[in-house]
Amino acid sequence: MAYLLCFKLSACPSIHLYKYFKINQRMYLKATLIFIVALTCCGIWADAQPASFAPRGIGGGGALFFPKINPANDNEFYISCDMSQLFHSTDFGDSYTQLHFSKLAVLNVSTYEFTSNSNVAYCNYNDGNEGYPVKTNDGGNTWTALPGFDANQGGVYRMAANYNKPNQLLMNYYGQIVISQDSGATFTLVKQATNNGAGIIMGGVFYTGDSIYIGTNEGILYSTNGGTSFSTMITTGIPGSDAIWSFAGAANGGTMRFVCITGANNNTYNGIMPWDYYGYATGVYTMDNANGAWVAASTGINFSNDFVMYTAMAEHDVNTMYLAGGSHIGNEVILKSSNGGNSWSHIFNTINNQNIITGWQGYNGDKQWSWGETAFGIAVAPNNPNKVLFGDFGFVHVSSDGGANWKQAYVSNSDEHAAAAPTPQYGFYHSIGLENTTCWQVDWESPQDMFACYSDIAGIRSNDSGKSWGYPLGGVAANSVYRIAKTPDGTMYAGASNVHDMYQSTRLKDAQLDAFDATGKIIFSHNHGAQWQPLHQFNHPVFWLAIDPNDTNTMYASVIHHDTSIGGVYVTHNLSDSGLATWTKLPAPPRTEGHPASIIVLNDGKVLCTFSGRINGNSFTASSGVFLYDPASGTWADRSDPNMQYWTKDIVLDPSDPNQDSWYACVFSAWGNANGPKGGLYKTTNRGTTWTKLTGNQFDRVTSITFDPQYDSVAYLTTETQGLNYSSNMNSANPTFSLVDSYPFRQPERVFFNPYDNSEIWVSSFGNGMKMGKLSAVAGVPVFAKSSGMIKAWPNPAGHILHVDLQGIALKTGLVQVYNATGQEIRRINTKQKQVDIDTRNWPAGIYLVSCEGYLAKVIKE
């Protein structure tokens, strides 16, 4: 007698209850009943979520701001990214982690303010608006808003904690500097701006004992009573036409010394950013012992070429000073004085990488030094003047010997290139966690060959299954590559543009999207993305490509321009003619205004498309939504829910619907005239005739959804600021979503499963590159939610050979998996056949589960 049971299951924490059953022929039915009751109570075992995500990519590429080094450990520092992540290194840039977005997201003006209490620190939180100051009392695990923050003053531009007095904090609004003596519970005014147009700039703070010195555009503010009161120092030496912009100080023995950088009054205001460097600085000055006399200290500085912006000193070295900024040729500039400012020398020597160990940026490298361009602040270890680092438009560089030698700190040390030699091109690099660029798509050309679409760095490729990444050999020449489509012969096609961040909140207006775009084009590759060639030049951004599954000579493209005679969906029917292919613009769908987004060509030849948001003036237009094109009639149908008319993102097919009548639409909430929150995930089962919102008010903005290729009920949902979310019951009328805690970044863009190993999940993001998660053997036992009786297996109990009949299943992946009672996968078979035979002679006695395409059969072995 054979026993076989197929289950319709939803979500259970564990299958370890199996092992409590002593399996034999007579007890099997009783065990089965107990098992079914247990499953009824608790669903199935572990949800299919990776326990961790590993960074993948080429390292760097995006802006990194205002690093801070721990006074107690000069190997530890934090550095902020304008894409909201705070990177943390404890080995001086050999590797990085990042704070989970649910704990702390940061701004480009955020700094991590250390204190002598390792549990206490301050920072500036990115809430998606102007931000607000926060504090941690548990070493960064949790952060709370400072009660004394005054939102009426706007955001915080700078913060400076007193390391030796953890309760003391200076803070800079646009027009005020304030101080707290009680950890931010309350603040008192230090100085109100005299000129509200320029504001008041806290250019630097030096704490020493009970004395506090603040360099501002209104002079030096100082306190000698621990911050109880402040005065403005009377000074000489700086012309009245100039103002202090950046300030640092140090004290040792009987000497205290300040250094500052000045700019012209009419060019100086609170909020100047690092990229405003060109021609800004007018002077460098020093002052000894707070005597009020500024002395010009610019020997060795050519202000026509050396556009210094930031200065720094170690707290106890009055002779060593650093200046950082940009130059007239667009390279980073770092200068050093070892004699208290009497003379300066250039110490970051980029010509031939004279004293710099490089990654992929460098002299004659994949990117020249002009990519980093200028320093975004500079940090010196407070207790070690030889430890210095800076960020820029793409990278981190560090020195441990006072700038005599420098090294990259954004790729693995094993990949770096020797100093005093040009940087080789087209190398491959391993990520060390400093991924801060936008990735749009991850694509596989073979088990080893991959290509990833990016903004800013365009596209990168891997030939070792994603472990290391490098640039294509040529032919891309664009800021952004948005989408890959492939024909069955392996030819890759890519949509490209010089406009980055497409359809994000800063890229919805005509001024950014309608300008002539010399790299708005389609390119193609015959060798896995190693080399690219031009296919067609549109001179406007190409955001999406889709190939007709019934005619691979037909491809559709989303081309962006608000003039609907230019922007819209284009089609070619002779794709194989490459550069000679002819392109025709389809008529504009109703309501639309030239902002096409995602495209899917359905099996019946109809074309499903979303159009994304457009802002005209300061208002969204009702030009977005979901549309269906019929090539037979040449007409579009508007299939949008009213909530989709302002800012729709991806459209995704329901994989459990072979008729392709069921779709998921991903929607962002707009603002202004869009009338309230409309964002979320919507589903239709009748091709857009009616829609149901599945997520209620849980999500404000949803970008995309991706289904597990093996299990139709499992999906990953991406959001703008609410992280990566997961559902194991997508076939339910009311699916539930929960945060994937192991993914740390707030704005994942899309999720991709490795087609050659479905246990690998790759997540692209808006600003945090790629991350890869691996489903473990236990956690990888996913959700089964299909009807029973589809897999037949005999004999059961199994003999030496188990025959598995798959006649009732439509094979998509053809993956057959066998799990033991602990949830461990013990056998994996890829098949195109409707019957497989499995050798069971080495199986221990127990219960086993056989799965294929989401269906499950239960087998025993005695």
- Condensed to tens digits (0 to 9), the pLDDT of residues 117-135 reads 999 999 999 999 999 999 9
In a domain, 531, yes or no: yes
The answer for residues whose C-beta is within 8 angstroms of residue 197's C-beta and 6 or more apart is 269
pLDDT of residue 163: 99
Distance CA 628, CA 661 (A): 12
Residue 811: pLDDT band with limits 50, 70, 90:
confident
Same domain for 391 and 473, yes or no, is no
Please give the torsion angle defined by the CA atoms of residues 151, 154, 159 and 164, in that order, rounded to the nearest 10 degrees: -20
Strand partners, 577: none
Q: Looking at residue 521, what is its pLDDT?
A: 98
CATH of the domain at 44: 2.60.40.3080
pLDDT tens for 718-729 read 999 999 999 999
* Model pLDDT, residue 20: 31
Structurally, the chain folds into a number of domains equal to 3
Confidence of residue 711 (pLDDT cuts 50, 70, 90): confident
pLDDT band of residue 776 (cuts 50, 70, 90) is low
Query: Are residues 143 and 71 part of one domain?
Result: yes
Residue with tokens 């708005």: 520
Residue whose pair of structure tokens reads 């909201």 in the numeric block? 84
pLDDT tens-digit readout, 74-112:
999 999 999 999 999 999 999 999 999 999 999 999 999
**Residue 697 within any structural domain of the chain:** yes
pLDDT band at 677; cut points 50, 70, 90: confident
Same domain, 837 and 724: no
Structure confidence at residue 495 (pLDDT): 99
Is 444 in a helix, a strand, or coil?
A: strand
Which of 774, 804, 823 marks a domain boundary? 774
pLDDT at position 820 is 87
Q: Which pLDDT band, with edges at 50, 70 and 90, does 672 fall under?
A: confident
Q: Is residue 434 part of a domain?
A: no
| pLDDT score recorded for residue 799 | 86
Residue 21 above 90 pLDDT?
Answer: no
DSSP states of 7-22: ------S--GGGGGS-
User: Binning pLDDT at 50, 70 and 90, where does residue 775 land?
Assistant: confident
Please give the Cα distance from 410 to 435 (Å, whole number).
Answer: 8
For the four alpha carbons of 511, 513, 514 and 517, in that order, the dihedral sign comes to positive
Distance CA 456, CA 480 (A): 6
The whole-number pLDDT of residue 326 equals: 98
Position 48 scores a pLDDT of 58
Calculate the alpha carbon distances from 574 to 115, 552, 587 in Å: 66, 9, 19
Q: Give the per-residue pLDDT at 800.
A: 84
Instruction: State pLDDT tens for residues 821-840.
Output: 777 888 888 888 889 999 89
| Residue closest to 97 by CA, chosen among 118, 76, 82, 116 | 76
Pair 753, 644 in one domain: yes
Q: Please state, in angstroms and rounded to a whole number, the distance separating the CA atoms of residues 97 and 99.
A: 7
* pLDDT tens for each residue of 242-291: 999 999 999 999 999 999 999 999 999 999 999 999 999 999 999 999 99
Residue at 414 is within a domain:
no
As a whole number, mean pLDDT of residues 635-664 equals: 98
For residues 383 and 512, membership in a common domain is answered with: no
Percent of the chain topping pLDDT 70: 93
| Arithmetic mean of pLDDT over the chain | 92
Do 764 and 799 lie in one domain? The reply is no
Whether 6 shows a pLDDT value over 70: the answer reads: no
Structure tokens at 416: 């770096």
| Radius of gyration for the chain, computed over Cα atoms and rounded to the nearest angstrom | 30
Query: Does the pLDDT of residue 391 top 80, yes or no?
Result: yes
Q: Which domain holds residue 544?
A: 439-774
The answer to whether the beta carbons of residues 549 and 507 sit under 8 Å apart is no
CB 325 within 8 A of CB 263: no
Instruction: Please determine, for residue 13, whether its predicted confidence score (pLDDT) is greater than 80.
Output: no
Q: What pTM, to 2 d.p., does this model score? A: 0.88
pLDDT at position 810: 81
Residues 105 and 186 in one domain: yes
Average the pLDDT over 627-636 and give the result.
Answer: 98
- In this structure, are 381 and 485 located in the same domain? no
Q: Pick the range with the lowest mean pLDDT from 345-359, 407-421, 648-662, 674-688.
A: 674-688
Whether pLDDT at 37 is above 70: no
* Greatest Cα-to-Cα distance within the chain, rounded to the nearest angstrom: 102
Cα angle: 372, vertex 378, 384; to 5 degrees = 135
| 3-class secondary structure per residue, 784-801 | CCCCCCCCEEECCCCCCE
Q: Are residues 167 and 292 in the same domain?
A: yes
Pairing of strands 396-399, 406-408: antiparallel
402 and 489 share a domain? no
Q: What is the pLDDT of residues 144-161, one digit of tens each?
A: 999 999 999 999 999 999
| pLDDT band at 437; cut points 50, 70, 90 | very high
Residue with tokens 């503010």: 221
738 shares its domain with 653: yes
431: in domain: no
415 falls in which pLDDT band (50, 70, 90)?
very high
Query: Which residue, 727, 746, 774, sits at the end of a domain?
Result: 774
518 found inside a domain: yes
> Where among 358, 381, 406 does a domain terminate?
406
What pLDDT score does 785 carry?
37
**Is residue 312 one of the residues assigned to a domain?**
yes
Q: Please report, for the domain that includes residue 325, its CATH number.
A: 2.130.10.10
pLDDT category, 789, cuts 50, 70, 90? low
Say if residue 129 is exposed, middle or buried (CB neighbours under 10 Å; 0-12, 13-18, 19+): exposed
The predicted-structure confidence for 550-600, as pLDDT tens digits, reads as follows 999 999 999 999 999 999 999 999 999 999 999 999 999 999 999 999 999
Is 826 within the bounds of a domain?
yes
Q: Which of 441-445, 523-527, 803-807 has the lowest mean pLDDT?
A: 803-807
Tell me the pLDDT band of 540, cut-offs 50, 70 and 90: very high
Res 858: pLDDT: 85
Same domain, 844 and 751: no
Do 471 and 460 form a contact (C-beta atoms < 8 A)? Answer: yes
Q: How far is CA 811 from the centre of its chain?
A: 35
Which has the minimum average pLDDT: 339-348, 349-358, 501-510, 783-792?
Answer: 783-792
Determine contact, residues 703/720, Cβ cutoff 8 Å: yes
